Structure formats: C-alpha cells, structure tokens
Amino acid sequence: MHILEIRPAPPGDGRTLARFDLQLVDGVRLYNLKLTEKPDGRRRVFAPSAFGCAAATFNNEIADQIVRAASAALGENNREQHQRAA
C-alpha cells in the first residue's frame, strides 16, 4: 500500500483532514479518498461516491491500514510544508 499523493483539506472543510490517492497491491489505484477525524479523535477513510453510492468500501483491517498510511503521509506533508515556510 502506498500513498501516491495527499492534499491537506483547506480550512473550513468540516472534519475532512485531507484527500489522497492510494495504490494497493497489484497496481490497483484509488483516487480522491477522504481522511476525516471524528469528534473523539478517531480517523476514518471514505471513498468517493458514484451515482449516490460508495465507489468502494473497506473492511476494518484494511481501513485501519489506509488511515495509518494516510495519517503518516499527511504528517510528512505538513512537516515538509513547514520546513519550506521557515
């Protein structure tokens, strides 16, 4: 599993932390996934919808792995932006 690109959410985008693109095994890629944070601090991942339904869903184990990968990538992205601004 590899985060291809992560885009921090702009201020005022509710509980959305970032949108990101993900490559799974065997070249399967998912685009524009959303990383959110619940009021209790837990993070969740959502796939975009198509025709009013989720385009993809994840079991708990895979969702946890995706959340960890996206959170790590978001932290790295924020660190790089902070270093550039300094």
Q: Taking residues 56-76, what's their average pLDDT?
A: 94
Return the half-sphere exposure (C-beta side, CA atoms, 13 A cut-off) of residue 4. 13
**Mean pLDDT across 1-19:** 94
Q: Residues 10, 14, 19, CA angle at the centre, nearest 5°?
A: 50
Q: How far apart are CA 48 and CA 31, in angstroms?
A: 8
Note the pLDDT of residue 43: 96
Spatial strand order of the sheet with 43-46 comes to 2-8, 16-23, 29-37, 43-46
Residue ranges of domains in the chain: 2-85
How far from 56 is each of 2, 36, 53, 78, 84, CA to CA, in Å? 17, 16, 9, 27, 35
Tell me: pLDDT of 82 over 60: no
